[in-house]
Amino acid sequence: MTESYLLGVILFAPFVGAAVLATPWVSNRHPLLVRQLAAFFSGISFIGSFILLFAFDWQKGGYQFQEKYVWSEQLGIQFYIGVDGIGVPMVLASSILLFAGVFISWHIKDRIKEFYAFLLILAGATIGVYVSLDLFFLYFFYEMSVIPMYPLLGIWGSHTKGYLETTNAEEWERPDAPRFILNFARNSKEYAAMKLTLFLSAGAIAALLGILLIYKASGLNTFEIPVLAEKAHISGTLATIIWLLCFFGFASIAPLWPLHSWSPVGHAAAPAATSMLHAGVLMKLGHFSIIRTCFQILPDTTHDLMPIAAILCILNILYGGYVAYYSNDTKYVIGYSSSSHMGYVFLGMAALDYISLTGAVLYMFAHALATGMLFAMAGWVYDQTHTRDIPSLGGLVAKMPFVAGCFLVACMASVGMPGTVNFVAEVMIVLGSWSKYPVQTVIAVLGIVLTMAYLFRMMRGVFYGQLSELGHHAHDAEALVDRVPLLIMIFSSVMFGLLPGRMLDVIRSGVNPILARIVEVAPVVTQTGTGLLP
Amino acid sequence: MTFDLNLTLSDLLLMLPELWVTLWICVVLCMDFLMPRMSQRAIAGLSVAGLGVALGFLLWYYADGTNGVLFKGMFVLDRLALFFKILVVGASLLVILSSIDYVGRFSFFKSEYYFLVMMAALGMMFMSSANDLLSVFVTVEFSTFGFYVLVAYLRDDLRSSEAGLKFFILGVFAAALLAYGTSLVYGETGTFIFPTIAQGTADMTPGLVVGWLMIFAALGFKIGTVPLHSWIPDTYQGAPTPITAFLSIAPKAAAFAILLRMFFSTLAAFKPQWVWLMIGTAMLSMLYGNIVAIAQRNIKRLLAYSGIAQIGNILIGMAAGTRMGADSVLFYLLTYLFANLGAFAVVIAFSQATNSDEIEDYSGLNRRSPFLAFTMLIFLLSLAGVPPLAGFIGKIYLFVAAIKEGLYALIVVGLISIVISLYYYLVVVKKMYISEPADPTPIKVSGWLQSVIYVGLAGTLILGIWPQWFMTQIVLATDLFAHLGPAPVVTLLP
């Protein structure tokens, strides 16, 4: 069954690109060719997903652009892809960040062929999760997106705070011994990479167990999400066990407090483009997969157990914000801020309200762009000054006005200033959650103030004040390839912030049928299709 | 009991691949002393050609669905037997290809090497067809004798001799167990033939229990499951690396052919009793293999322990005890063949250039040979079970088969062991990709080894990305287990 090949093209372009780069005919001796190939294949996805947004028929709703092939009759697995209103913005976010990430990484010199191959696999796999309508392939792409993080962090990453001061090479004869890897005080990039991979894989296998239990309990011999959502009636203790496995398994990537500890370390160690994709779209795999499994297949259990998320999300917001305020490493600040902001998405989901869930999905999209920008700029500053230590930076605005300007916009977007898409999303989450969780909503709004505090503290420390010694040889982003990715992200953020109508309609067409099965209230019919965007 | 050996020609056709290999073994052996000038490469080529023809026969038989029984039921030819023969002959082919450069380093006894590899392969081909206890004993010993010599082939290497001695003593012990178990079962049932035993056994007498346990122990020694694994690490480390590769897949596959016939056909009625045996050994193998592998510093030992864990995975399918369980065992063996032989081919290529098997020396392999590092990455990740590689699909197949039978605890252990195994595989990846090389000279890989690595790579990717065709073929092979309906559910979770 094939309605259109558009989704297949968007999904497979990065993989084809990675395969082309992996062939012996593309050599590291021609770096420009490698970069151009990566840009070409990610560009296909980029253009394709913009077409997808405008070709998606939100009035019809449901799953569109479906493609379905039998993959294994014996196991009941189909290669079944298609998007609903939730998938569309996330596919768009993934391909924007991938395309921007290719340009952000333009100046990497070491083994660029391998770098771009892994980056394309990472981004292709995240797109794969967002379009999978078969639980097996959801997991397939999920795990596939986790593994490339290991080489990306390990090879092209950088050691995090305090590593150089505490490392005594002679003391550690075997830097791959378990006690070295598991030593929390020593923030080498190897440690960050291993921690991230093992942490996320452990979460993934918990979710896999949940998926296998769904397969067993439904008795339908299929992994197809629409069929399971309709026909699998799982209830009682088993449903609770499955729900907890899927929820906490997938929430570990989200990252829900207290499963977040891999995330700031991982963000900080990763190269800029990887941090962007990681914080921008990889973390949202968690929320998205929870919607696909818990919300769609176990609606009743979700209704009963979602208050767990309403409690934990507050810890996310406050703890993440608190640590971000006291961090002196730029990437740690952004990493913890991401982890804090993911609390808003959980709040929007926990309220089980039409407006707040729509807001949560939009927030996932908005946060991808804002955090992508922040990480891109933090990466630029690091490349120019070779430090991420805020106290030893300062006054960079004189040296890099363009980057400083973009950074300000990114901070504003992250805070949720009107005019950016984050504002729309935050307002919707807060409005929707108010009736059900007033206390949490108040704390969440206070969290926005906290966001301002730590982002502006970082902004001041890095760009204003006395020009530090380290900044004397810093350059601005002057070349076109350096400016294009930043401009793309700013443009998308502002465009959807000023004209969110179409995006909201698309998201709502996906959210409404899912939520209608969880809560009794029917969706409020509102018209935001303003016609400003086609 | 009368013996009539009125074999017609069409009967013998059932044994044609074996007869052909027997003939070819003689040809290879004769060539060595008839034409002493013949290079070892030519002899290797001759062996490859012979096995290639045998593989062709086998594939033709498989497509054709040839089946039949010979020698009063001692030798059975069905698709299950053919599947394992294809696996064994395919593995032998790849092992010979990856041996060519390795053997070139020996000062003498070059052609006997190929002769012995083919003898072992012949024994394992018969093992795949063994359908009674007597032929099980004879074929298992037949195939093992070739290995006794091959393991100790590096005459001047102390480790190789140690490996050979260890393997021999424990192997003979296993043979004794097999013989004793056979005699007990014969004493209780009065027959050797599997189908007759299945019909004649109404309940498990103590004698039968002990007898079958001993037979399982002997075969458990072949596949190297915990607690019968102790020979594996030292033998793997000491043996010539191509033989280690051979040992790690072919005899295990052939032993699984016998185990499947034994437990899924002959003892199918007693599943509630033997399923605990499978669950126990599977759990122990996965946990022990994976945890001990963490501490390894030699790549061959690492692969040895990871192999123990992989066998634990395959036993999940055995524990399922259904037709789907059998399918998953076959499929997993196929994925294991490609990934494991590929990984060993990389080890051979590396040790030829550097004379080392230490993981420490793999530092910076990506800079010295991007090809070797990349393929090793693929093979290790496939062994760990990472999508989209073959090992992942194999593991999912096993888990689905097991969850249908409600073996929750087994699946939980299996899943946890995936995470543990990721750690030690990634440590090797870290060495290859992240660490800087101590000696940056590039590594050249010979064409023979490259071909083996490419076969492994293709198998690992194709089985992972589009397994449907292979799964359909495998289901044909397990037709004889069609009688296994929904077996009694073993629930370990309230």
Q: How confident is the model at residue B2 (pLDDT cuts 50, 70, 90)?
A: low
B393 Cα to chain A: minimum distance (Å)? 9
Instruction: Give chain A's residues under pLDDT 70.
Output: 1-2, 160-187, 522-534
Q: Tell if the CB–CB gap between A198 and B416 is shorter than 8 Å.
A: no
Strand, helix or coil at A26?
Answer: coil
- Kindly report, residue by residue over B386-403, the tens digit of the pLDDT: 888 999 999 999 999 999
Q: What is the mean pLDDT of chain B?
A: 87
B387/A212 Cβ within 8 A: no
- The pLDDT, as a whole number, for residue B284 is 92
pLDDT of B154 strictly over 60: yes
- pLDDT at position B84, please? 94
Q: Longest Cα pair distance anywhere in chain B, in angstroms?
A: 71
Q: Which residue of A has its CA nearest to B406?
A: A216
Q: What was the pLDDT predicted at A465? A: 79
Q: What pLDDT score does A440 carry?
A: 87
Cβ-based neighbours of B356, under 8 Å, separated by 6 or more? B350
Round to whole Å and give the CA distance between B48 and B114.
9
Is a pLDDT exceeding 90 seen at residue B456?
yes
Q: Is the pLDDT of residue B486 over 80?
A: no
Nearest-CA distance B429 → chain A (Å): 8
Do B89 and B78 meet the contact criterion of CB atoms below 8 Å apart? no
pLDDT for the residue A331: 85
Tell me the DSSP string of A45-114.
HHHHHHHHHHH--TTT-S-EEEEEEEEETTTTEEEEEEE-TTHHHHHHHHHHHHHHHHHHGGG--TTHHH
Contact criterion met (CB below 8 Å) for B170 and B230: yes
**CB A347, CB A425: distance < 8 Å:** no
Q: Average the pLDDT over B346-350 and give the result.
A: 92
Q: How many whole angstroms separate alpha carbon B463 and alpha carbon B479?
A: 22
- Looking at residue B487, what is its pLDDT? 38
Mark which residues 162-201 of A lie under 8 Å from B by CB: 176, 178, 181, 190, 193-194, 197-198, 201
Are B306 and B424 in contact by the 8 Å Cβ rule? The answer is yes
**Tokens coding B449:** 């080894």
What ipTM describes this predicted complex? 0.89
How many CB atoms sit inside 10 A of residue A500's CB?
23
Partners of residue B433 in chain A, C-beta under 8 Å: 151, 154-155
Nearest to A212 among B371, B386, B400 (CB): B400
Secondary structure class of A450 (helix, strand, coil): helix
Q: Can you read off the two tokens belonging to residue A111?
A: 């083994």
Question: Which residues of B fall within a CB distance of 8 Å from A114?
Answer: 366, 370
pLDDT grade, residue B246 (50/70/90)? very high
Q: Is A209 on the interface with B (CB under 8 A)?
A: yes
pLDDT in tens, B401-430: 999 888 899 999 999 999 999 989 998 998
Å between B434 CA and nearest CA of chain A: 5
Q: What percent of chain B lies above the pLDDT cut of 90?
A: 43
Q: Give the B-side interface with A, CB within 8 Å.
A: 294, 324, 327, 366, 370-371, 374, 381, 386-388, 392-393, 396-397, 399-400, 403-404, 406, 411-412, 415-416, 418-419, 422-423, 426-427, 429-431, 433-434, 466-468, 471-472, 475
A16 Cβ under 8 Å from any chain B Cβ: no
The answer to whether residue B155 scores a pLDDT higher than 60 is yes
